[in-house]
Amino acid sequence: MSREGTMLAVRVHEYGPPEVLRPEEVPVPRPGPGQVLVEVEAVSVGFAQTQMRRDLFPAPMWRPAFPIVLGGDVVGVVTETGPGVEGVRPGDRVGAYTLHGAYAEYAVLDAASLVPVPGDLDAVRATVLPGSGPIAMGTLGVADPRPGERVLVHAASGGIGHLAVQLARLAGAGQVIATAGSAAKRDFVRGLGADVVVDYGEDGWAERVREATDGAGVDVVLDSVGGQVLRQGIGLLAPFGRLVFYGSSNGGLDIPHISPMELIGIKYVTGFALSAWRAARPDRYRTDHKLLVDYLRDGAVRDVVHAVLPLHQVAQAHEIIESRSHIGRVVLKVGRNAEDRLST
Ligand SMILES: NC(=O)c1ccc[n+]([C@@H]2O[C@H](COP(=O)([O-])OP(=O)(O)OC[C@H]3O[C@@H](n4cnc5c(N)ncnc54)[C@H](OP(=O)(O)O)[C@@H]3O)[C@@H](O)[C@H]2O)c1
């Protein structure tokens, strides 16, 4: 925070390409009831924020007024608490997955959404804790794979996907099948422990998945891609199979309509939103968090970070994600270093 009580924030004044992300000096916000103010150390950039920026985000609950400061997985230190906040104090290191206000030096976060962040974890790495990690764990939690079942993970080299592959393995999946859009991504996903990796950009990818299961189909599909991939995934489900839809990276606002007739072979299709999971299963969310910290510490889960950029280069981070060139996560480092200040 500067002496005048201002900070660097990246704001969006109109929907559009990455250039609409504008670094600006703005007043530091104040926490309201039930909120805390956090000095941000790092924030990860995901595909969802690129859809928000383009006004292609499919979730109806996201409709903020301009100017918008986009959200993400934030890690930082609490500097102030609002009225009615209990159990969190200034100085606490915390993380949150937030829909708004993350691309800034200070972020106002709902106290109820905070997770503790161990002091010894590097801030960039720790951004996996509030959102990407719990989403990978939560989608698997909803699908609830039994030991030995076959799990298909789409977009498996992405920020969430690469964690889901490893977590499916740890959950005891009998076969982990993954999809990815380039040879380098497929090699990467194989290296994470996927048994079979398929290019879902090629015609006939679903047949190749079916062949890999000796014709049986899969028990679980984690789908963040949508469009035709979603429909083909339903076709791949074995009886009692569960497809969890949690993103529409290729379908955008074009979400397929599903007829109950497609499910007549005893197939389940459900959705997943982190906010709904956290509200419905708060204990599980907390247990998953502790487990994830342990997995990261002992190396059972490898969190791969593709690029780390300063906050003011967030447009470049969005370009990387939209070019589909990244493997793993893209993270912004935020701090009071000279690099991150605007030269005004
Ligand atoms: N439900 C929730 O609570 C929640 C919360 C946050 C994010 N999400 C969703 O989770 C998914 C993964 O997010 P992430 O942050 O891990 O993103 P990410 O790292 O950018 O990964 C997204 C992956 O989608 C694939 N993809 C397919 N079609 C694409 C297209 N047209 N443009 C760009 N990428 C495309 C890319 O892999 P290939 O090149 O291999 O195809 C890419 O690796 C997204 O759909 C996001 O919206 C859900």
Q: In the predicted model, what is the mean pLDDT of residues 327-344?
A: 70
Architecture of the domain made up of 6-128+303-340: Alpha-Beta Complex (3.90)
Compute CA distances 219 → 68, 151, 169, 270, 329, whole Å: 40, 6, 14, 13, 27
Residue 136 beta carbon below 6 angstroms from any ligand 1 atom: no
Residue 185 beta carbon below 6 angstroms from any ligand 1 atom: yes
Residue 52 beta carbon below 6 angstroms from any ligand 1 atom: no
pLDDT score at 253:
82
Residue 155 beta carbon below 6 angstroms from any ligand 1 atom: yes
The whole-angstrom separation of Cα 205 and Cα 153 is 13
pLDDT in tens, 98-151: 999 999 999 999 999 999 999 999 999 999 999 999 999 999 999 999 999 999
The residue ranges of every structural domain in the chain are 6-128+303-340, 133-277
Question: Residue 341: is its pLDDT beyond 60?
Answer: no
Strand partners, 95: 75, 115
Q: 65 C-alpha to center of ligand 1: Å? A: 25
133-277 matches 6-128+303-340 in CATH topology: no
| Integer-rounded Cα radius of gyration of the chain | 20
Architecture of the domain made up of 133-277: 3-Layer(aba) Sandwich (3.40)
- pLDDT confidence bin for 1, thresholds 50/70/90: low
The whole-angstrom separation of Cα 154 and Cα 230 is 10
Exposure of 193 by Cβ count < 10 A (0-12 exposed, 13-18 middle, 19+ buried)? middle
Q: 115 C-alpha to center of ligand 1: Å? A: 23
Residue 45 beta carbon below 6 angstroms from any ligand 1 atom: no
Give yes or no for a contact between 42 and 337, defined as CB atoms under 8 angstroms apart: no
The whole-angstrom separation of Cα 182 and Cα 142 is 29
Phi, psi for residue 267 in degrees, rounded to 5: -125, 145
Which ligand 1 atom sits closest to the C-alpha of 59? 1
Q: Ligand 1 pocket check: which of 154, 199, 224 to mutate, most ligand atoms within 8 Å of Cβ?
A: 224
pLDDT in tens, 12-59: 999 999 999 999 999 999 999 999 999 999 999 999 999 999 999 888
Q: 52 C-alpha to center of ligand 1: Å? A: 13
Give yes or no for a contact between 102 and 44, defined as CB atoms under 8 angstroms apart: no
Q: 222 C-alpha to center of ligand 1: Å? A: 12
Which ligand 1 atom sits closest to the C-alpha of 180? 40
Q: Ligand 1 pocket check: which of 43, 47, 140 to mutate, most ligand atoms within 8 Å of Cβ?
A: 47
